[in-house]
Amino acid sequence: MSSAKNRAGSRSLLVAGAGIPGLTLAIALKQANGPALDVTVCDPGLSVGAARHRGRAFAVAAGPRRMFERLGLWERIAPAAEPIRDMVITDSRLGDPVRPTFLTFAQRSAEEESRGEPFAHMVEAEPLVAVLLGAAEEVGVTFEPTGIADAVPEGARIRATLGDRRELAASLVVAADGARSRLREAAGIGWVGWSYPQSGIVATITHERDHEGRAYEHFLPSGPFAILPLPSCDGRHRSSIVWTERQADVPALLGGSAEDTLAEIERRFGLSLGHIALEDGPSAHTLSFGIARSFFGDRLALLGDAAHVIHPVAGQGLNLGFSDAAALAETVTEALRLGTDPGAPEVLRAYERARRFDTVAMAAATDGLNRLFSNDALPVRLARDLGLGLVDRLPGLKRFFIGEASAIRGAQPRLLRGEAL
């Protein structure tokens, strides 16, 4: 990977963090602006490459998939992707002998099926990041395998100090450095959030029978247990699980032998796909909620988890980050083509206007869903099951929810509509 030189002026941009949204932003900006914009990605994890993402998988909605097609990357990503053609939602207690299905989301229409556009694909993180790193280097993104320790605005530029004490100057720094963003905190941008009394457990499972592109969301009193289809590998059928459990119960559930852990997974996984085995994991992560009070500061834009963290109940966290990347690429590119400063306050305010409502709405929806479905009170269970059944019988309402989850409804950024910047 190439190393950055000290760049000054209004045509340089620094991305702090080589996660998926940060790399996507860097590629989109370089493709749209070429040599007119220098883009440098700074992250100490670059020395490890894509391997640090091993064992993780994400649901990539239809809108972000259109963006990757526009960027010319989907053909490279597709071998690591599995379409979600159907989703089955159940609501039960762990010991119930039967898990009644209350809601299904099948392929939306014959026309969309003929276009090969399911509402989402499961994509494994390690090959996805490998594709993004390769594409970023191809389009001329510069890499610095060290983090940004500090960024200080100085009039028409911002001066960033790297972890090795070297300095780079640019018109804009993008904080894509995660939920505990040091750059956000250093800029004095407030954070509204809390921790859930839950942990998210992720693992990759192999099973006897083909999942046929069907995902399951089992709502249990301790939280949702999702089974998400992955591509087959060496003849093995595979799925990713995202298991939400009470934090206090995690040590007992995962602290025993591998056989004990697999037995706990099997109790929740069920028998529909036959015998199961662990391929990777499990690993547990504390769950939290948070939204930045502002998505920008002085020559600083927040991206992805640095701007918002939501519950994984609907699998929309990364898709919000993709929407951030598409919106910021659009506002910065428009500013450059108009000959204005891409780090100016009015440009960053336009980015926040494009993202604030969508982010808050999705965050509130996922928080509400988790609270609603993690409640075992009988009246609440009856009411939510009635609601699920009504949605299942109203095709128009079901299409609305699918459109929201697919990130193709409303005033989406151009890239999410499959249009060029």
Query: Once rounded to an integer, what is the mean pLDDT over residues 219-228?
Result: 89
What does pTM read for this prediction?
A: 0.90
In sequence order, the β-bridge partners of residue 237 are: 207
CB 372 within 8 Å of CB 223: no
Q: Specify burial of residue 221 (Cβ count, 10 A radius: 0-12, 13-18, 19+).
A: middle
Sheet of strand 148-154, all strands in order from the earlier edge strand to the far edge: 148-154, 157-162, 167-170
Which region among 23-27, 202-206, 267-271, 365-369 has the lowest average model confidence (pLDDT)?
Answer: 365-369
Q: Say how far apart CA 76 and CA 128 lie, in whole Å.
A: 9
Average of per-residue pLDDT values in the chain? 87
User: Quick one: tokens of 364?
Assistant: 């509130």
Assign 1 a pLDDT band (cuts: 50, 70, 90).
very low
Bond from prior residue into 282 cis (ω within 30 degrees of 0): yes
Q: Specify the pLDDT at position 209.
A: 95
Q: Say how far apart CA 255 and CA 284 lie, in whole Å.
A: 11
Chain center to CA of 393: 30
Q: Specify the pLDDT at position 8.
A: 42
Q: DSSP for 131-145?
A: HHHHHHHHHT-EEES
What is the dihedral angle through the alpha carbons of 396, 401, 405, 410, rounded to the nearest 10 degrees? Answer: 70
Q: Specify the pLDDT at position 7.
A: 43
The answer on pLDDT for 18 being more than 60 is yes
Any idea which residue has 């909605």 for tokens? 61
Q: Say how far apart CA 209 and CA 274 lie, in whole Å.
A: 6
Give the residue with greater pLDDT, 378 vs 19. Answer: 19
Q: Say how far apart CA 17 and CA 14 lie, in whole Å.
A: 9
Which segments of 205-342 does DSSP mark as H helices, in order? 250-254, 258-269, 317-337
What confidence tens digit (pLDDT) does each residue in 241-256 have? Answer: 999 999 999 999 998 8
Assign 261 a pLDDT band (cuts: 50, 70, 90).
very high
Q: Say how far apart CA 297 and CA 295 lie, in whole Å.
A: 7
Query: Once rounded to an integer, what is the mean pLDDT over residues 257-271?
Result: 91
